[in-house]
Amino acid sequence: MVQYISDSVHSVVRNALFCLEAAGNGKENHVYTKALLAYAFALAGKEEKRKEFLSSLEKEAIKKDGSVHWQRPGKEPEADLPYYRYKAPSAEVEMTAYVLLAHLTTQPAPTQEELSFASLIAKWIIGQQNPNGGFSSTQVSSSFPPVASHISIRRVPETKVGAQ
């Protein structure tokens, strides 16, 4: 009985991966789709496909201020105002987090080069946190425990000097 269940699950997963590969072969995939596919193939252990999507994503990366992230195509440029820190829409934080997870989810362990690049992605994601350590949406805050395990940054509550 257990073998039968295992075989049917294996068949479903194999068919799902086949569908993802077919969808991934499209000429024009959205950045968010590429990020999801890279992570899905990383989880499935399909290293060649994972690297293919990560390579494509790297060409579309926004590299700014010592960090890396992805944004939607055709998006208006950020306003560069003094004393204003731009917070990206949650979809952009999500897709960037999926790319980070795809970089870190690999067998064998990520290379030093992948870890260095991943740290630039993590830097941008950390910059998107709100003052309480969460993100602009509960989707981002609650759906990415794996990201949180890789980015163990906690906000320290402010203390008043001289308070007793």
* Model confidence at 107: pLDDT above 60: yes
* Model confidence at 129: pLDDT above 50: yes
| Cβ atoms 16, 8 nearer than 8 A | no
* Residue 156: per-residue pLDDT: 45
Is-cis flag, bond preceding 73, omega within 30? no
Average pLDDT of span 106-120: 88
CA 60 from centre of chain = 14
* Residue 90: per-residue pLDDT: 83
Q: How many CB atoms lie within 10 A of CB 72?
A: 13
The label of the residue with tokens 């390579």 reads: 55
pTM exceeds cut of 0.85: no
* Residue 5: per-residue pLDDT: 42
Across-strand partners of 64?
67
- The kind and range of the H/E element at 7 are helix 2-24
Average predicted confidence (pLDDT) for the chain: 77
What tens digit of pLDDT does each residue of 50-104 get? 999 999 999 999 999 899 999 988 766 666 656 556 678 888 998 999 999 999 8
Average pLDDT of span 157-164: 51
Walk me through the domains of the chain, giving residue ranges and CATH numbers: 31-150 (1.50.10.20)
Average pLDDT of span 35-52: 91
Most confident region among 17-21, 56-60, 129-133 by mean pLDDT: 56-60
